[in-house]
Structure 1
Amino acid sequence: MKDIFSEVNRILESGQSGVIARIIRQKGSTPRSTGTRCLILEDGSIMGTIGGGQMEHLVMERAREVMRNQRSVIMKLALYGKDGAEMEMLCGGAVDIYLEPVSGENIKTREIFSELGRMAIEGRRGVIVTRVDEGIPAQDPACRILIQEDRSIFGAIEGLDAPGVHAFLPVGSPRLVETDTGTLFVEPVSPPEALYLFGAGHVSLFVCSLAAQVGFRVVVIDDRKDFANVERFPTADKIRVDAFLEVFDKITVTPDSYIVIVTHGHIHDRTVLREALRTYPKYIGMIGSRRKRDTIFASLRQEGVSDDILARVHCPIGLEIGAQTPEEIAVSILAELISVRNLGKNKAENLHRKVVSRPE
């Protein structure tokens, strides 16, 4: 799944139009949370989801109207009572959904989404502020502001000056803000988490494909150019052919990064693991049996690596679901990565224990 904002940038650059649908307010139990967004394209296709089912069908129908009129709309949907029953959604909550037309003819809009595309590639963060109201035309040049980490500003909202804009930094979660200039929706912009996939064998093929679908930015690394290439890994964001021992000097591992070690040999796995433990990503996982893990860990202890540091490693990698084939192993690995991303490390560990201890 590609980043929605990057996809908006792509369609605007190609001269197309679309509609961004965002959940801007949520009350009670709903399929998705505030800030969830999707993009409806001119051909009626959709990227992303704001909850699926009849609710999303209604949004897509309304989006066609928004595309025709080129003016924004706020949909208020109750997922309870008669309305909920008609949508076959009895979650019990309610959502406000903002449908915003975007057009490549709006130069300011194009500039902002072009910068958002660069931010995603370069791993930069920021905040985007969108004016929310009925009937805002797609050509409005003053309906959106992008604020970057360095406090630089792209775009404008009428009546909002620089001090007022900078007051939105930082923002932890998406929210509606009432101001003298009107209602604003403020949302953080974060780059996709980087997944450094060491090894370009059979398992990596499926890990890369699945990881790209669920929103990771995948960097495939191997020392064999016949394996690490775009023909084998068309969904990778980047492919590096480099020696495993040297490549860590050429990549940027952050606290939001994930490292998966599935190289073509135990010696290479150990080399990568040793270098990975000098960094502090969100996740380090290595393929292999418990016997392999214990052997590698013992050799690293002899080099002075402490048990506390080794405890950061997920090995055997993936949730224990009895995976056998490369495809199944990839599913187990992605399940573990998603659990760490969505639940945090501690809850993910609890989930792992529950799966492992599940009775036959």
Structure 2
Amino acid sequence: MEYKVLEKITEEVRLNKKVALAVITRVEGSSPRKQGAMMAVLEDGKTYGTIGGGKLELVVTEYAKKCIANGKNETYRFKLNDEEGSLHMQCGGEAEVFIKVFKPNHKLLIVGGGHIALKLYKMGKMLGFYTVILEDREEYCRKDRFPEADELKLGSIEESLKNYPIDENCYIVIVTRGHKYDEIALKTVIYSRAKYIGMIGSVNKTKYIFDNLRGQGVSDDILSKVFAPIGLKLGGQTPEEIALSIMSEILLVKNNGALKHMKELMIEAYEKL
């Protein structure tokens, strides 16, 4: 039974989904299951395996869902009797349950498959991102072009983005072949929960697209969340240099970083002495 639970955990992790593993780590007295019993809990509360059923399993499932929501591992202790503060069960013993949360990798959604997208994809994989390519041109959305991409979404960019489960774990980079498609992509994701939305282009192009979206009712408050023109001002014009400036900005957002030279921190430390 336990190996099937672990298989389910592995399956969910491979799909880059959140999942929790609940394990009985200590038992005193009588309990529904022994130490080592385990259960997988999915984000929607569906379970695989069992730690004894009944009230214990019901309560642990709810705790596991909370752990998944906040991304924290926790240990809980339960009295399995009818005393105050217990689960009001007839077993009579006590059980300790450890809940381990498996969090998905951060997702890098690259909208477009051109030269800059190719360099972004390589950097994203190197940095451990779950990487997705979205393109409407078959020649730019092939497995031989992006051999290690976790997903290739070929077809209408608008439809692909509408149908993709974008959440706060997603970092979206819009680098299509033209401002028309960039605007379509931005309009599609601008109200999403993505942690980062960046769009490539000059100041003039950005202003043109932003003005179009304002005319369609998008507020300045929403537009201000878009990183456009995209990237940090590192200098350089090659696809590699542009991709590096974009990934640097993404890491800054992802890690709550600061735009400072590390040597400035040393100077500040000396000034405090």
- Equivalents in 2 of 1:225, 1:295: separation in Å? 29
* Residue pair 2:191, 2:222 contacting (<8 A) in 1 also: no
Other-structure match for 1:80: none
More moved, 298-307 vs 151-160: 151-160
What residue in structure 2 maps to residue 48 of structure 1? none
Alignment partner of 1:127 is 2:41: no
Report the equivalent of 1:155.
Answer: 49
Q: Which amino acid aligns with 1:283?
A: Y
Change (3 A) 1:168 1:250: closer
Check conservation: 1:200, 1:220, Cα contact below 8 A: yes
Whole-angstrom distance in 2 between the partners of 1:301 and 1:164: 48
Which runs of 5 or more structure 1 residues have no equivalent in the other structure?
1-106, 134-139
Q: Aligned residue for 1:249?
A: 162
- After TM superposition, the score normalised by the length of structure 2 is 0.73
Change (3 A) 1:271 1:152: closer
- The counterpart of 1:195, out of the listed 86, 108, 129, is 108
1:337 shift after superposition: 2.0
Q: 1:299 to 1:168 in 2, by over 3 A?
A: closer
CA distance in 2, matches of 1:131, 1:288: 54
Aligned residue identity for 2:43: E
Q: Distance in 2 between matches of 1:267 and 1:176?
A: 52
* SS of match in other structure, 1:236: coil
Name 1:11's counterpart in structure 2.
none
Whole-Å Cα distance in 1 between the matches of residues 137 and 174 of structure 2?
15
What's the Cα RMSD here? 3.0
Deviation at 1:225, TM superposition (A): 0.7
Of 196-205 and 329-338, more deviation after overlay is shown by 329-338
CA deviation string 1:51-109 (max 9, x = no partner): xxxxxxxxxxxxxxxxxxxxxxxxxxxxxxxxxxxxxxxxxxxxxxxxxxxxxxxx622
From the CA coordinates, give the structure whose radius of gyration is larger. 2
Count of matched residue pairs: 235
2: CA distance between counterparts of 1:299 and 1:150? 39
CA separation of 1:253 and 1:163: change in aligned 2, threshold 3 A? closer
1:312 to 225, 238, 256: 225
Q: Which residue in the other structure is 1:265 paired with?
A: 178
Give 1:289 deviation, angstroms. Answer: 2.3
The ranges of structure 1 where at least 4 consecutive aligned residues each deviate by more than 6 angstroms after the TM superposition are none
CA distance in 2, matches of 1:175, 1:226: 47
- 1:255 counterpart letter in structure 2: E
Provide, for residues 185-242 of structure 1, a one-character-per-residue CA deviation record: whole Å limited to 9, x for no partner.
4222333333221010111112112223333222201111111111010121111221
Corresponding position of 2:6 = 113
* Distance in 1 of aligned mates of 2:35 and 2:118: 44
Name the residue aligned to 2:89. none
Choose from 73, 81, 88 the match for 1:174: 73
Q: Deviations over 1:20-55 (max 9, x none)?
A: xxxxxxxxxxxxxxxxxxxxxxxxxxxxxxxxxxxx
How many Å apart are 1:143 and its aligned residue?
A: 4.5
1:231 alignment partner in structure 2 = 144
Quickly say closer, same or farther: Cα 1:277–1:150, change in 2 above 3 A: closer
Instruction: Give how far 1:340 is off.
Output: 2.2
1:145 paired to 2:39: yes
Q: Which runs of 5+ in 2 are unaligned?
A: 27-33, 79-93, 265-273
Counterparts of 1:278 and 1:194, CA distance in 2: 17
8 Å contact from structure 1 (residues 142, 155) kept in 2: no
C-alpha distance in 2, partners of 1:167/1:148? 11
